Structure 1
Amino acid sequence: MARTSRPTGFRQESPSGRRDIASEAAGLPPGSLEAFTDEGGLGADRADHMIENVVGVFGVPVGLATNFIINGSEVLVPMATEEPSVVAAASNAARIARATGGFHASCSAPEMQAQIQVVDVPDPEAACLRVLAAREELMVAADEQDTALVSFGGGVRDIVARTVHTRVGTHVVVHLVVDVRDAMGANAVNTMAEALAPRIAELTRGRTLLRILTNKADRRLARAHAVLDSDELGGRQVVRDMVAAAALAEADPYRAATHNKGIMNGITAVALATGNDTRAIEAGAHSHAVTADGRYTALSHFEEDADGNLSVSLELPMAVGIIGGATKTHPSAGAALALMGITSADQLAHVIVSVGLAQNVAALRALATEGIQRGHMTLHRRSVASAPSDHADAT
């Protein structure tokens, strides 16, 4: 059976039935998604090896977003979220996008950066030049810290030195630009920065202080775009109203904050389901939403094309990995990657940015038509109705 993101009868099934259908739709053996159950998922014993002072685990619902076509491939997308309507909204936007080929995504090189801060430098500008003169030496020394990464085609790509004027003086900040391949990269770049710090101190004649990665991963970008048929969206006026709503987010930071939160509803849910660092991704995204002149704006762009259809695009930093960390230690994360057929960090970034864009489309369509509350509150009431009564002990 060919992979499909439109499995028949999916919504009507029980959770166990949906797992069986999803396994078949993804071409996986029966039982492959048992890591999403209480019995097969993360237990307290395994959690005890992941963080400190473990007392148990905190469950988050995992739903599968359907209908996605990303770069020509059918993808069932796991999303871990507690917020009603998120999975349904992404699935609906993906259904509309199917008619015009789905989502098209790309990535830049998986380059992360570490910063080495140097204080008490007597001649900051000259110190930067001394660091740059030793560029090749520093790159070789950094690569020696992670020969495995180098063997897979990664490693240091550049050394950057800059001065930063702060309220307590001018600091020299040295950046290590590192291709981290299929890892998120924090451990690799931090180790390199620690190792280079003594030599950087000698070159700058100052004192090194911070030695850590930056989550402003603006050299590791993921991009997605799609064209959605105006008739499927509700007509040309709906398209124009969605463009107008997006234009407000571009111009007004009060609207942009909520607009971008909607994007992150999708992005964070997939990142969490795959064991990636949601806080790092969110930090990178919101820093990317700040323009060169310091204005906070929308991450996505909505336009009406020459045929009256909606053209949408999204670009943001995407520091995700499929090796190391929770992606390997959390059983549900491994199942999520297998379900999507992910074999590289780039593929995962393509999925995540496409889901973020789909979520954004769904939100703006709802806002431009019936309003966001109708569908959201229907699902919210269902979840409230199923919750145990707060007053059960009082009766």
Structure 2
Amino acid sequence: MSDRVRIIHERGWLSDADYQMLISGEHTLKVHKADKMIENVVGVMGLPIGLGLNFLVNGRDYIVPLVVEEPSIVAALSSAAKVVRGANGFQVESTAPVLIGQVQVIGAPHPARAKAVLLQRKDELLNLANSLHPQMVARGGGAQDMEVHLHARAEGGDMLVVHLLVDTRDAMGANLVNTMCEGIASLVESMIGGRVFLRILSNLTDRAMVRARCVIPAEGLAGKGHDGEEVRDGIVLANEFACIDPYRAVTHNKGIMNGVDAVALASGNDWRAIEAAAHAYAARGGRYTALTRWYKGEQGELVGELDMPMKVGIVGGSLQSNATVALNLRLLGVKSACELAEVMGAVGLAQNFSALRALVTEGIQHGHMTLHARSVAITAGATAEIFDTVVERLVETGEIKIWKAREIVEQVRKEARGVSVGAVTSDQTAIDQRACGHGKIILLGEHAVVYGSHAIAAP
């Protein structure tokens, strides 16, 4: 690991200070700081930071920090980005970073008339909202527009909802928008009667969108015993499956979020909000479908597009309180929230491409299980000096299991001590080995199981 850090430092991606932080581990969150972030803190949990390589987005190179525990995601992303890089990289567009605040009004005597009044006097409401955050306005943001929606209620009548459209610039903006919604509540009531009830932002951020696109020549898709046209057509067909079948679409989109969430975590953004927006957007037509579109271009090339909400931030107390987040943002080198959103859009499309390419060629498990073997080897107690040997033999067996890894660890250790580990010749020993097996016991609940031990599977 230290060699990787040294290399990115030597190539100018890391400052001297950040290099020392990574080498020493000083960047990790300390308990006393964690205790100030949330309630009832008892410790700090760590996750790996990997680097997505080869990303070329809008003509600029990026090294992308990824915080994720699942093996193969980082490798698959880097491989996909390398393919797209050879085809001029990702082209990504983003809209203004607008967040929606909602003000719910109940009991308005004439909802349709109230809607007209609010729209007629919206400048008063926008001015009031912006007076609450003059610094955001000075940075070019603030409340930009207002909408009014009427929703039919089950018991009759209409519910009136004001949408405040706020450009939050480089901030995530949740607190800012909530403050604005609360600040205009009294004026809304005085204008139309009725009573303001809920005042809260919406996490369906469909006014802050990214569109990522890549175009890959068919010859750039060839490999692993498959020609490029075969891979292209397979990806198009697999994407069609996700477009028409919600069961497949969920897994398809989950793969996209493997990459997006990893960048969100690394950059300190609210990955839960990003997830919620993505899945709501995928169901915007009344049926859950794929977030991506893959199709054959006019010249026979593979064209991929991803459209999704992406409201993120790069400034704010919650981001600056974690030294690792600040380091990751410096390493990524984005200058605005829109630029971060564009990189995340490219990552989502790259992750989708890598998954579909694997599915239509060698299958998703081949590469994943090879990398999963590394985690299993660690769990089985493989030390640094035997780690690579254990992983290699574990993959060769095709059984990526902890019990198998433990057998291999013991075997390698015996070999290192010069102890014979030849085939069993005793008939009785062979019978004894056949008579025992690795299983699980469910003790008190379906998740209370003991793995990797000789046991009887009991109901």
TM-score, normalising length: structure 1: 0.92
Residues 378 and 40 (structure 1), Cα distance of their counterparts in 2 relative to 1, 3 Å cut: same
Distance 2:347 2:146 in 1: 34
Deviation at 1:353, TM superposition (A): 0.6
Alpha-carbon distance between aligned partners in 1 of 2:353 and 2:325, rounded to the nearest angstrom: 26
Give the letter for the 1:164 counterpart.
H
CA distance, structure 2, for counterparts of residue 244 and residue 34 of structure 1:
48
Taking CA–CA contacts closer than 8 Å with sequence separation of 6 or more, which of the two structures ends up with the larger relative contact order? 1
Distance 1:110 1:331 in 2: 25
Q: Give the CA deviation at 1:66.
A: 0.6
- CA distance, structure 1, for counterparts of residue 256 and residue 288 of structure 2: 15
Q: Based on CA coordinates, which of the two structures has the bigger radius of gyration?
A: 2
Match of 2:28 among 34, 38, 41: 41
Determine the C-alpha separation between the residues in 1 that align with 2:133 and 2:21. Answer: 32
> How far did 1:282 drift?
0.6
SS, match of residue 102 in structure 1: coil
Q: Which residue of 184, 201, 205 maps to 2:172?
A: 184
The Cα shift of 1:132 comes to 1.1
Distance of 2:12 and 2:255 partners within structure 1: 28
Matching residue within 265, 271, 275 for 2:258: 265
Residue 63 of structure 1 pairs with residue 63 of structure 2? no
Q: Give the C-alpha shift of residue 183 in structure 1.
A: 0.8
AA aligned opposite 1:326: S
C-alpha deviations, 1:352-391, integer Å up to 9, x for none? 1100100000000000001000111111121022026788
Q: What are the within-5 Å matches in structure 2 for residues 239-318 of structure 1?
A: 239-292=232-285, 294-318=286-310
Q: How many residues align?
A: 379
Q: Give the distance between the partners of 2:91 and 2:246, measured in 1 at CA.
A: 28
C-alpha distance 120-183 of structure 1, shift in aligned 2 (>3 A): same
Does the 8 A contact of 1:23 with 1:29 survive in 2?
A: yes
2:149 matches 1:162: yes
Over 3 Å counting, the alpha-carbon distance change for 1:304 and 1:392 in structure 2 is closer
| Residue in structure 2 matched with residue 343 of structure 1 by the alignment | 335
Q: 1:194: which partner in 2?
A: 182
1:92 and 2:79 aligned: yes
The equivalent residue for 2:411 is none
Give yes or no for contact 1:23–1:339 (8 Å, CA) kept in 2. Answer: no
CA drift of 1:30 comes to 2.5
Q: What is the SS of the residue equivalent to 2:108?
A: coil
Q: Which consecutive unaligned segments of at least 5 residues does structure 2 have? A: 223-227, 382-449, 455-459
1:175 Cα deviation from its structure 2 partner:
0.6
Does the CA contact (< 8 Å) of 1:34 and 1:40 recur in 2? no
**How far apart, CA to CA, are the structure 2 residues paired with 1:50 and 1:168?**
43
Q: What amino acid sits opposite 2:81 in the alignment?
A: A
Q: Which amino acid aligns with 2:273?
A: A
Aligned equivalents of 2:177, 2:142: Cα separation in 1: 9
Q: How much has 1:229 moved relative to structure 2? A: 2.6
The corresponding residue for 1:9 is none
**Residue in 1 that maps onto 2:356:** 364
CA–CA distance in 1 between the matches of 2:152 and 2:380? 55
Write the distance in 2 (CA, Å) between the matches of 1:171 and 1:376.
50
Aligned to 1:19: 5
Bigger mean CA offset, 62-71 vs 34-43: 34-43
Partner of 1:101: 88
AA paired with 1:268? D
Judged with a 3 Å threshold, the aligned counterparts in structure 2 of structure 1 residues 35 and 360 are, in CA distance, closer, same or farther, namely farther
CA, structure 1 residues 212+340, in 2 after alignment: closer, same or farther (shift >3 Å)? same
1:32 aligned partner, one-letter code: D
Distance 1:254 1:393 in 2: 35
Per mean C-alpha deviation after superposition, the further-off stretch among 311-320 and 300-309 is 300-309
Choose which of 162, 165, 190 in structure 2 pairs with 1:174. Answer: 162
* Cα shift readout 1:43-87 (whole Å, capped 9, x = no counterpart): 111111211111111111110011111111111100000111000
CA distance in 1, matches of 2:19, 2:364: 32
TM-align CA RMSD: 1.8
How far does the alpha carbon of each residue in 1:134-158 deviate from its partner, in whole angstroms, 9 at most, with x for none? 1010010000110110010111111
Equivalent in the alignment of 1:72:
59
Cα drift, residue 321 of structure 1 = 0.3
In structure 2, distance between residues paired with 1:34 and 1:113: 41
